[in-house]
Amino acid sequence: MARSTARDTHLSSSNPVNSASMNLSGRSNNATLSRSSEAVEATVFGETMRFRVGDGIQDWELSISGFFDGAASNVGAYFHEGLSACMNLVYGPQGSGTGQEKLSGCAILQDYEISGELEGAVEFSATFVAAGALTQSTF
């Protein structure tokens, strides 16, 4: 089985609200892409085993987090403008080199949170939820 590291993960977004685009790779230190598919239950009364149909509704979600930078041209302002907007995301788990996997799709910025402890670093987290299909290709 091949193993790889995601040291140079690529993440970028374009915001249709203000026509801005941002490379989020250097601004976030964690990215998690979750994909799911419903297994619709179609068991009829009297059966002794459950029957499920495997072509249920599919969904995806991308969560990121990192250190907050409140400068006007950074993550804080960018996400503030785009809350609840459908943003075009491009995610490369292994970077954006030629031939690397590229996942892209439109997602709604559902949650944006800024948190910090006294005498600690201020951090942000954001969650994007699918507003359409996730397309798989290569850079």
Q: Domains of the chain: which residue ranges?
A: 10-138
Asked if residue 101 has pLDDT above 70, the reply is yes
Q: For domain 10-138, which architecture applies?
A: Beta Barrel (2.40)
Give 127's strand partners: 63, 111
The Cα-based distances of 27 to 78, 117, 123 in angstroms read: 12, 19, 10
- Of residues 33, 64, 73, 40, the one with CA closest to residue 54: 40
pLDDT in tens, 60-91: 999 999 988 877 667 777 787 777 778 899 99
The per-residue pLDDT for 3 is: 53
CB 54 within 8 A of CB 36: no
**Range from 11-15, 91-95, 116-120 that averages highest in pLDDT:** 91-95
User: Which whole number is the average pLDDT over 3-18?
Assistant: 72
